[in-house]
């Protein structure tokens, strides 16, 4: 018993690190899978993926991917039926790729889409910034 009292901080650190190691296993499948720009273009070209731009209107003024559907992240829940309609047109449900400015908002949106029953949800690592850096097409929207 004296060992536990003397080493309480060490034991707490061990339990905390163990919990942090298990966290990805526990949350697997409940969010979007990160994908790079190469993987995203392959999904767009080969599987007719739906690219959703989650950025706000002022952010899209810099440009957008030409094939992207603009749905600001705070309006995603309201647009869920339209999204489902677009991805359920073929035999199989098309994958969804989420794009924000740098990649962070996509994870939260991915959880919402997964909860709504969308099977394949991907988050573009680096977001629109990575899209531009990869030299992929960008169009200006008015």
The residues annotated with a catalytic role in the active site are 100
Outline where DSSP puts E strands in the chain: 33-35, 50-53, 69-70, 96-99, 121-124
Contacts of 99 (CB under 8 A, 6+ apart): 51, 52, 53, 54, 55, 65, 68, 106, 124, 127, 128, 131
Whats the size of the chain, residue-wise?
142
Give the number of C-alpha atoms closer than 13 A to the C-alpha of residue 10, restricted to the C-beta side. 5
Give the number of C-alpha atoms closer than 13 A to the C-alpha of residue 46, restricted to the C-beta side. 6
């Amino acid at each position: 018993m004296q060992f536990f009292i003397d080493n309480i901080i060490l034991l707490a650190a061990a339990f905390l690190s163990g919990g942090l190691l298990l966290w990805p296993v526990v949350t697997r499948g409940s969010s979007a899978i990160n994908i790079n720009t190469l993987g995203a273009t392959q999904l767009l070209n080969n599987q007719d993926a739906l690219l959703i731009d989650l950025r706000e209107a002022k952010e899209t003024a810099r440009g957008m991917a030409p094939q992207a559907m603009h749905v600001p992240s705070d309006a995603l829940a309201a647009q869920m039926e339209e999204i489902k309609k677009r991805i359920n047109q073929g035999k199989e449900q098309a994958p969804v790729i989420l794009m924000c400015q740098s990649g962070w908002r996509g994870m939260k949106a991915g959880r919402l889409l997964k909860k709504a029953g969308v099977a394949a949800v991907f988050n573009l690592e680096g977001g629109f910034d990575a899209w531009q850096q990869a030299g992929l097409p960008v169009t200006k929207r008015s």
